[in-house]
């Protein structure tokens, strides 16, 4: 016997752009995005916009940073003596790399600055933190999710 939860799986086509009109991601020409509502698989403002839509509906939404990837946080900029970094001479400013945090988990960070005789700076903010985002949305379907699939 199938058991259903109150959650839904939605399928949506979207195009995401910045305020200057540059597109950062789109499903155009590829499979649509499918996610489970309430599972925190997309940014909050995207999920809230889609939650208010009916299948077949199209909508444009503007999300402020707080509704997307949040504001940039200064406390997520870390630095350490360059000499303590193995193979520091291979670091490239702007590159995204994985670093081990103090809890033993790998986290993605952007290399901000490398000083051979000084400090190296890393930014652990999401690359789109502080950015307003725009989405063109088309909801294709919304279907109940079985408990054993959620």
Q: What is the pTM of this model?
A: 0.81
**Tokens matching residue 116:** 């051979």
Rounding to the nearest 10 degrees, give the CA dihedral for residues 142, 143, 149, 150.
50
Question: Is residue 120 within 8 Å of residue 85, measured between CB atoms?
Answer: yes
| H-helix segments, the chain | 44-51
91 pLDDT higher than 80: yes
Identify the CA nearest to 25 among candidates 43, 1, 49, 48: 43
The HSE-up count of residue 88 (CA atoms within 13 Å, CB side) is: 18
**Tokens matching residue 23:** 């597109």
**Tokens matching residue 113:** 């600055």
Identify the CA nearest to 139 among candidates 48, 40, 76: 48
1 pLDDT higher than 90: no
pLDDT in tens, 23-69: 999 999 999 999 999 999 999 999 999 999 999 999 999 999 999 99
Q: How many residues does the chain have?
A: 150
């Amino acid at each position: 016997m199938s058991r259903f939860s109150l959650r839904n799986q939605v399928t949506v086509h979207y195009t995401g752009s910045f305020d200057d009109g540059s597109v950062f991601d789109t499903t155009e020409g590829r499979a649509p995005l499918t996610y489970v509502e309430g599972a925190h698989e997309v940014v909050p403002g995207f999920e809230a916009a889609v939650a208010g839509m009916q299948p077949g509906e199209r909508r444009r939404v503007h999300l402020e940073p707080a509704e997307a990837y949040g504001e940039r946080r200064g406390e997520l900029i870390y630095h350490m003596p360059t000499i303590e970094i193995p193979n520091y001479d291979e670091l490239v400013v702007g590159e995204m790399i994985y670093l081990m945090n103090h809890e033993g988990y790998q986290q993605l960070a952007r290399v901000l600055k490398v000083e051979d005789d000084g400090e190296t700076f890393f930014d652990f903010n999401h690359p789109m933190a502080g950015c307003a985002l725009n989405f063109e949305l088309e909801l294709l379907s919304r279907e109940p999710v079985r408990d054993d699939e959620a």
